[in-house]
């Protein structure tokens, strides 16, 4: 696992966007796994700026979802399908044909989970998966004590996650669904490159447990320690509880330029 400490969220977004651009230059039809929420917005803004400036061609890129609410209409402004189309697909100049995600409105939700879990490897596998992290250490919607071998499935959200997400529903927790479809930790670990971005002091404990703590289902993000190519990008606030922060700064400062992110 590589840990990169950046000054702020904007710098983190630029760094990750350049890694995504470099991937698209090598593999124009790369399958990019995206996350939702406020944390990855600087990534999408920086990547969109690169595309519009002609620094990278994203016209053949493919986008896939990490998770989706169950029961929320696909055209609801806060369904993750709508969010990804609005914040990623449309700004990059792509069409819905380049996008894939689970069906949270399916009559048989379990079958929809299984279908999406099959669809990802059938599409060639995820080349780069973006991740955020919850204050309790969850990734995707794999809440604490999720199996580290789990596949795409239905999960019940914790009350804390619903509280955290209420800001997207006019602050009304009653509007936040109780259930979601999420890629499982085992599914996530199959991506070729995992990139987690965390910003703000509120994520500092989760980041420290993920990076320096034991691998534990209690902290689902700690499973990134098992991945051969996982990158954790954190701002100074999110890095504030890392015991090895100085070492991480040193290793990144002395990293060979050819190695990339």
Q: Residue 48 maps to which CATH number?
A: 3.40.50.1360
Q: Among 68, 103, 127, 143, which one carries the catalytic annotation?
A: 143
CB 261 within 8 A of CB 18: yes
Q: Is residue 259 included in any domain, yes or no?
A: no
Give yes or no: 138 in active site: yes
Predicted local confidence at residue 161, as pLDDT: 82
Q: Is residue 240 included in any domain, yes or no?
A: yes
Q: Among 14, 18, 127, 136, which one carries the catalytic annotation?
A: 136
Predicted local confidence at residue 58, as pLDDT: 97
> Which domain covers residue 131, as residue numbers?
2-254
Q: Is residue 245 included in any domain, yes or no?
A: yes
Predicted local confidence at residue 160, as pLDDT: 83
If one counts every other C-beta atom within 10 angstroms of the C-beta of residue 108, the result is 10
Q: Among 87, 127, 138, 193, which one carries the catalytic annotation?
A: 138
Q: Is residue 186 included in any domain, yes or no?
A: yes
Q: Is residue 46 included in any domain, yes or no?
A: yes
pLDDT, one tens digit per residue, over 219-243 is 999 999 999 999 999 999 999 999 9
pLDDT, one tens digit per residue, over 41-92 is 999 999 999 999 999 999 999 999 999 999 999 999 999 999 999 999 999 9
In order of 28, 57, 126, 199, the CA distances from 61 in angstroms are: 6, 8, 11, 27
Q: Among 14, 67, 127, 235, which one carries the catalytic annotation?
A: 67
d(CA 182, CA 80): 11
Give yes or no: 136 in active site: yes
Q: Is residue 72 included in any domain, yes or no?
A: yes
Q: Is residue 261 included in any domain, yes or no?
A: no
Give yes or no: 174 in active site: no
Domain count, the chain: 1
Q: Is residue 163 included in any domain, yes or no?
A: yes
The single residue listed with the structure tokens 């890694």 is: 19
d(CA 157, CA 98): 29
Work out the percent of the chain whose per-residue pLDDT is above 90.
91
């Amino acid at each position: 696992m590589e840990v990169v400490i950046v000054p702020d969220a904007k710098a983190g977004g630029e760094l990750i966007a350049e890694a995504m651009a470099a991937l698209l230059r090598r593999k124009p039809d790369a399958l990019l796994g995206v996350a939702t929420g406020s944390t990855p917005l600087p990534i999408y803004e920086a990547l969109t700026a690169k595309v519009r400036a002609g620094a990278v061609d994203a016209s053949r890129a493919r986008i896939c979802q990490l998770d989706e609410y169950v029961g929320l209409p696909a055209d609801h402004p806060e369904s993750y399908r709508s969010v990804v189309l609005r914040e990623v697909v449309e700004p990059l100049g792509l069409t819905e044909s380049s996008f894939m995600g689970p069906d949270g409105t399916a009559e048989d939700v379990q079958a929809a989970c299984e279908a999406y879990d099959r669809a990802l490897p059938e599409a060639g596998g995820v080349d780069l998966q973006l991740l955020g992290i919850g204050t309790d250490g969850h990734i995707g919607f794999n809440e604490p004590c999720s199996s580290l071998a789990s596949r795409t499935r239905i999960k019940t959200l914790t009350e804390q996650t619903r509280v955290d997400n209420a800001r997207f529903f006019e602050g009304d927790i009653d509007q936040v669904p109780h259930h979601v479809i999420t890629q499982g930790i085992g599914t996530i670990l199959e991506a070729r490159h995992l990139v987690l971005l965390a910003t703000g002091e509120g994520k500092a404990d989760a980041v420290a447990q993920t990076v320096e703590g034991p691998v534990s289902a209690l902290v689902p993000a700690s499973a990134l320690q098992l991945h051969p190519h996982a990158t954790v990008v954190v701002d100074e606030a999110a890095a504030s509880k890392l015991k090895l922060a100085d070492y991480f700064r040193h290793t990144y400062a002395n990293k060979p330029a050819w190695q990339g992110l």
